[in-house]
Amino acid sequence: MPKMTRRTFLKMATAVGAGAAVGGKVGTYIFPDYEALAASGSPEEEKYSHCVMCNHVPKCGVKLIVKDDKIFRTEKWEGHPNSLICAKGIAAMQEVYDPNRLLYPVKRTTPKGSPDPGWERITWDEAIATIAEKLNGIKEQYGAEKVFFYTGDPKEPRPIIQRLAYTFGSPNYGTESSLCYLATELSAKLTYGLEFQTARSQALAGGPPPTPDSGVFMLWSSNPAWSAPFSYNGLKTVKERLGTKCIVIDPRVTPTVHALADVHIQPRCGTDGALALCFGNYLIENDAYDKEFVDKWVHGFEEYREYVKEFTIERTAAICDVPQERIRAACEILANRNGPLFLRCSAASPHHSSAIQGYRARILLVPLTGSLDVPGGISIADEPIVFGNFHGTPQFERSTDLLPELKHLRVDRQFVPLWADADGEGQVQTNFFPEYVKSGDIRACFMIGANAMMWPQTQQYQEAFMNMEFTAAADFHIRPQTHNYVDIVLPAAVSYERMAPIAIFGRTIFLRDPAVTPPGEVRTDWRICCDIGTALGYPEEFFGGGENAEEECVRELLRTSGTGVTLEDLRAARPGGVFVPLQGAPQTKKYELGLLRPDGQPGFTSPTGKVEFTSEMMREYGYNPLPVYEEPIYSPISTPEVYKEFPLILNTGARVPMYTHSKQRKLPWLRQLMPDPIVRLYPTDAAERGLSDGDEVVITSPVNRTGIKAKLEITNILRPGMIDMFHSWEQADVNLLTTRDFCKISGFPPLKEGLCQVVKA
């Protein structure tokens, strides 16, 4: 692979406009002088890290050539399982050397919510002492559970902030996954039981690539060509080699559609559940389901069979507003498959007012076709290593010894009790944060990487931050949309300046180097949490804080993993990783062997011990146990009068190649690819409104008649009658248009449904 030097990077950045506007101002980047580094007689050091620019999941390996404590060159980490360096990975260097980074702790000197917070630099000693005093004061007066601990992006400090919350005595720890991934996991738990590894495998938001044994691919609301290039290559390779049939379900015509789809279905947003039930009905009617698996391992099949009869191809085509022949073609591919179904959905799939039921309808196609834990289907890990999401361990996070005694104090129990009881990892639903603060159930918060624009009706979350007695945050920058409403902001290290956490690929563990020294007084998230924990009165649990705290955290993570791997082992293995061998042979159909249940009996951890097509947990909590289809709360069908005024369907937050959610917006080399907020509209919809490409337009909705402004992009990538808009633009926050009509079971918002209108500004 060609080497990316600073000189090459600078030339490329200059050619594409490195001075792109950021937040209304022109920002230029000052890099360490390349010529000076090149002339330096200092030796080149090789540092191995992983890129977190794609949402912290693939952890693509990067080899950084460092001279004089500066990154001199970026290369692939040869031999690393993921080593695809995309544009975001190359631009990560700009994140390190951004001159606008927050370098010192600051406190506000004006009231929260003021246009100018009057930030004043303070010492770390003052910052940590103030945070400890405020949090301990809330604890003494009201109880530890009145303090909320939160991490957004980066996701990597989840294990340490969770440990901080529980050690402090609060079960109220939450993450951005309560708006992203966790509804998929809950859907799987309500189907297979609470056993974490099975639910995690069946959430289907990622997972391993297909194998040659796969009979058909189904990519549902997933566009890996943009969102996951590392897995897209695997899909494309298998498709080209074997010609495996592929069904893509997405209202957009994405690059994945062009490259992989034999059949492409573009359903009306929010109707995916009906389509999944139609597939189930067709498979049953045509005896194309796995009768042996269903007879032995499925609970509630007869109820399901009777219910899905309603979803004929004709009726489903009308609900989804798609041609009957498209649905029929997909049904026939499914029915005539010559191997298991490989289903890949996205974490964003449940962003609907009926999040859980719609997603359950989709994932039931896996057991219905006998594609569970078999080659080519959806596999469950063999002898899974005990690392959880983002590579903490339950013992390190203290979710085993402390959380059970605190769970009854969870603040979300009154809103989503099933979510609270089914959650064994301790992630509170954050979408009700305004309600928590208004009721006095939450009075203070410490948060890392928070973004108020993540939530629907952003202003309500800003008011909640402002109305708490105390709020402290850690971040790379001062972000006015969030930090104007907090009291203290701490400077956090970026990826190439951190050690924790480790990375795991299958059964191989990799360590990353902190490649360069953080600038100014920047500290890593893990050290910040240890410093706060020590100041709160828990020095033993947080290794005394200080410079060695992050390394001690990694040692403790490894010790509690049960793998026997040590930090010294990982360092000795550089540039490779340490493989943890299986104790036995790989197994398929683990449910037959008693490998999924703690009692060693065959089956699953669901109440019935089977795959539940009718969920008994949902029945117990008063919900319909079937994966019933529910029309979106705002839609052409459910609210026809509103639809007359707002005749476009609101779809937000789909991935684009240059950004990951709100990240990278301040990196000029990426910002020039999409410098301004845009809203996409189909050509006929634009023509009906007299709009031209590049027009400034106003987008309104039933909950925001003033609207937001954006530039129009006319494109046939969409189906007619909808818009597509990326989120988290400070000057055009699309979540101001979204309602807070949360899913009754999960508390998830309808980010990918609803109604709106677009007119010329």
Whole-number percent of the chain with pLDDT over 90: 71
Strands (E), 270-424: 298-299, 341-344
* Peptide bond before residue 115 is cis, with ω within 30 degrees of 0: no
Strands (E), 188-275: 216-220, 245-249, 263-265
- The three-state secondary structure class of 63 is strand
Per-residue pLDDT, 685:
97
Give yes or no for a contact between 708 and 453, defined as CB atoms under 8 angstroms apart: no
Per-residue pLDDT, 50:
87
CA dist 304 and 352 (Å) reads 22
Per-residue pLDDT, 346:
84
Size of the chain, expressed as the number of residues it contains? 761
Nearest residue to 171 (alpha-carbon basis) of 404, 391, 464, 387? 404
Taking only the tens place, the pLDDT of each residue in 94-147 is: 889 888 899 999 999 999 888 999 999 999 999 999 999 999 999 999 999 999
Arch. (CATH architecture) of 106-179+385-501+510-564? 3-Layer(aba) Sandwich (3.40)
Q: What average pLDDT score do residues 258-263 get?
A: 93
Whole-number percent of the chain with pLDDT over 70: 94
Distances (CA, A) of 675 to 490, 668, 709, 713, 734: 28, 9, 14, 13, 16
Q: State both tokens at 419.
A: 């979510």
Q: What average pLDDT score do residues 189-195 get?
A: 91
Give yes or no for a contact between 577 and 508, defined as CB atoms under 8 angstroms apart: yes
> How many Å separate Cα 67 from the centre of its chain?
35
User: Range(s) for CATH 2.40.40.20 in the chain?
Assistant: 640-760
Nearest residue to 268 (alpha-carbon basis) of 655, 718, 656, 624? 718
Taking only the tens place, the pLDDT of each residue in 14-44 is: 333 332 222 323 334 445 666 787 788 889 9
Confidence band of 87 (pLDDT split at 50, 70, 90): confident
Q: Tell me whether residue 738 is exposed, middle or buried, using C-beta atoms within 10 angstroms of its C-beta: 0 to 12, 13 to 18, 19 or more.
A: buried
- The three-state secondary structure class of 50 is strand
CA dist 415 and 582 (Å) reads 42
Q: Over 90: is that where the pLDDT of 720 sits?
A: yes
* The domain made up of 640-760 is a member of CATH 2.40.40.20: yes
Taking only the tens place, the pLDDT of each residue in 37-72 is: 778 888 999 999 988 888 767 788 899 999 999 988
Residue 286: CB atoms within 10 A of its CB come to 13
Higher pLDDT among residues 378 and 441, named by residue: 441
Taking only the tens place, the pLDDT of each residue in 122-135 is: 999 999 999 999 99
Arch. (CATH architecture) of 193-372+606-620? 3-Layer(aba) Sandwich (3.40)
CA dist 51 and 67 (Å) reads 20
Confidence band of 9 (pLDDT split at 50, 70, 90): very low
Higher pLDDT among residues 205 and 660, named by residue: 660
Distant-in-sequence, close-in-space partners of 369: CB < 8 Å, separation ≥ 6: 283, 288, 289, 290, 334, 337, 340, 341, 377
Rg over CA atoms, the chain:
25
Distances (CA, A) of 1 to 4, 84, 331: 9, 10, 43
Taking only the tens place, the pLDDT of each residue in 165-187 is: 999 999 999 999 898 888 999 99
- The three-state secondary structure class of 45 is strand
Per-residue pLDDT, 336:
96
User: Range(s) for CATH 3.40.228.10 in the chain?
Assistant: 193-372+606-620
Q: Over 60: is that where the pLDDT of 456 sits?
A: yes
Confidence band of 13 (pLDDT split at 50, 70, 90): very low
Q: What average pLDDT score do residues 311-319 get?
A: 98
Q: Over the chain, what is the mean pLDDT?
A: 90
Phi, psi of 254 (to 5 degrees): -95, 170
